[in-house]
Structure 1
Amino acid sequence: MPIKLNQSGWPTWLTRIFPSVADPRNCIGNKGLSPSEFSNAISSFKFGRTFKSTGQGRHQLTADYLSKKNFTSPPVVLDIGASDGITSVDLIDRLSFKKYFVTDLYWDVSMIPIGDSAYFYNGTECILIVSDRVVVYADDKGAIFPFGCLANRAISRKPALDGTEIHLSLVNPLLREKKERNDNIEIHTYDVFHPWPEEKADLILAANILNKGYFDSTDLRRALDNIFTALKEGGTFVVVDNRDTENATIFQQGQETLRVEKQINKGTEICDLILDSYSASQQPI
């Protein structure tokens, strides 16, 4: 939906009836937010087809399983599409690892306040317009009038107002704190549609990014090809989907094979596509 209520501007009962989100302006300077409150505000952002939805303890069953899994040695972990990194912290706290790469394509935005509204930008593209009452998703600018006109105007040119642009980090403060204390935690900008540029991983986690709601089969196969290349021989690949409840599938790679090791609840909806893509990737060119 291109427009939602700003939860800060309405009674709680009303925000439970109509689509609503937390005010993303709360992230500015953190404003004394707890890690959970920060994640809630971050979840209001949408970049292209993907929301930055997240929350502490969101992958609890998956983290439970992986924390008890018998890895032959502390794994190199590649966490893809980690949003603000709060779910990465859940696993960081419970898993002994050699290196933990926390990755996402979007780690920062800029904001320009104009009157009572705030315009959020990814580079030069307006992605969000926030007032005290509503949050407008600018990528759906043609859907609702007059907000479509407002978004079109915002997107046409980035206002050049000296001293008003505020840069906002989307990294959860709790993850930042963990990283400062542990040199084996790295935060990277990474696009899953490109090859992974660092060392191969023993454990790859892709949560709430590889699903048919975001990407078609062609795009999913492109992403999977890069993931299979980034996975060490004998590695573990995990796909999580929280759209209704926590559903996850844990895959174990063997000698030119990929098998389902564990399914949590319904598992991933793209299980067959993953297995088929892996088989295709092993065929001689």
Structure 2
Amino acid sequence: MLDAEADPGAFREAMSSVYVGGTIKITAAGRHPATDRLLVDNIDLSQAHIVDIGASDGSTSLELIEKLPEFASYTIADLYLTLRAVDVGRRTVFFDRTGKAVLVAGPRFAGWPSLSTGVALVYAHVVRGARVAIADASEIVLLNPEVRRVMASDPRVDARVHDVFQPWVGEKPDVIKVANLLRRLYFSDDELVRALAALRDSLPEGGHLMLVDNPRMLNTPPRAGIWRRRGGRFVEIARLGDPEIADLVERLGAVTGNLTVAVDRKVARSA
């Protein structure tokens, strides 16, 4: 993560060691081919403004971008796009945006002070030393080197800090994708419903929400659903498998449509 020119695969592996904001920055290449196809096959994405929330290092965002028609913009959004790193001897302490020490990495071992009181005690002196030198911290961008190269060459692709529990600020996107973030593993049902309400309010009338979850369970393939905003509710457009929180979407007044699998015709954004 400290090397801006790191191998993309090695960067993804390192990212999976970051636990921040109550979630793990798990990422990998080739995670969403079926769910990407669900979106591309069912929604007209020509000149679409797309927001990808909770996109981790952006690897899966880049794979979707490569499959899109001529889109208008693609924003990779995450609450934690950067960490601050301070070297203390042979160890490096990583702080999140709130100033919490989330990872201590050394030549042989790594520890997560925010997850364990015991680990916090073991590394307390290291973290104290890092706080003394926090003014000299380096900013670590948590975006894959491949993604940063695309952002540098394509002005349509950018990144932005965003909290999924808050409405999107600025022009409302045509499509919002949220993958592997709104999980019962991380949040209560009440919290998830609050996030879904913010997502609904972030979309224009006729805009689309796509939820994806990769359970990482044996014999459990990726699951996804696409819903269109209609007033204060969501109407289901397509789904792949049984999305984990589809029942919570219904609590916002979602109406399940006739489409339960990928359909042959694309749905226009203005429909």
TM class by smaller structure: 0.7 to 0.9
Contact 2:232 2:252 in 1 (8 A): no
Change (3 A) 1:243 1:152: farther
Q: Secondary structure at the residue paired with 1:179?
A: helix
Cα-to-partner distance string for 1:98-129 (whole Å, 9 max, x where unaligned): 11111011111122222332211114211111
- Tell me the distance in 2 between the aligned counterparts of 1:254 and 1:272: 17
Query: Which of the numbers 121, 130, 135 marks the counterpart of 2:105?
Result: 130
Change (3 A) 1:206 1:136: same
Change (3 A) 1:231 1:164: closer
Q: Alpha carbon RMSD of aligned pairs, Å?
A: 2.4
The residue that corresponds to 2:222 in the other structure is: 246
- Tell me the distance in 1 between the aligned counterparts of 2:135 and 2:200: 45
Which gives a bigger RCO, structure 1 or 2 (Cα 8 Å, sep 6+)? 2
Change (3 A) 1:193 1:256: closer
Contact 2:88 2:129 in 1 (8 A): no
Contact 1:238 1:251 in 2 (8 A): yes
Amino acid at match of 2:63: D
Amino acid at match of 1:277: L
Contact 2:227 2:237 in 1 (8 A): yes
Aligned residues between the structures: 249
Query: Which of the numbers 80, 88, 91 marks the counterpart of 1:106?
Result: 80
**Cα offset, 1:52, TM superposition:** 1.0
The residue that corresponds to 1:263 in the other structure is: 239
Q: Secondary structure at the residue paired with 2:80?
A: coil
- Tell me the distance in 2 between the aligned counterparts of 1:207 and 1:162: 33
The residue that corresponds to 2:252 in the other structure is: 277
Equivalent positions of 1:132-281 (< 5 A) are 132-142=107-117, 147-154=119-126, 158-161=130-133, 165-244=137-216, 245-254=221-230, 257-265=233-241, 267-278=242-253
Contact 1:47 1:127 in 2 (8 A): yes
Change (3 A) 1:132 1:155: closer
Provide structure 1 residue ranges, at least 5 long, that are not aligned to the other structure. Answer: 1-26, 281-285
- Could you list the runs of 4 or more consecutive aligned residues of structure 1 that deviate by over 6 angstroms after TM superposition? none
The residue that corresponds to 1:87 in the other structure is: 60
Change (3 A) 1:39 1:72: closer
The residue that corresponds to 1:14 in the other structure is: none
Provide structure 2 residue ranges, at least 5 long, that are not aligned to the other structure. Answer: 256-271
TM-score where L is the length of structure 1: 0.79
Percent same amino acid at aligned positions?
A: 29
More strand by share: 1
The residue that corresponds to 1:23 in the other structure is: none
Change (3 A) 1:47 1:278: farther
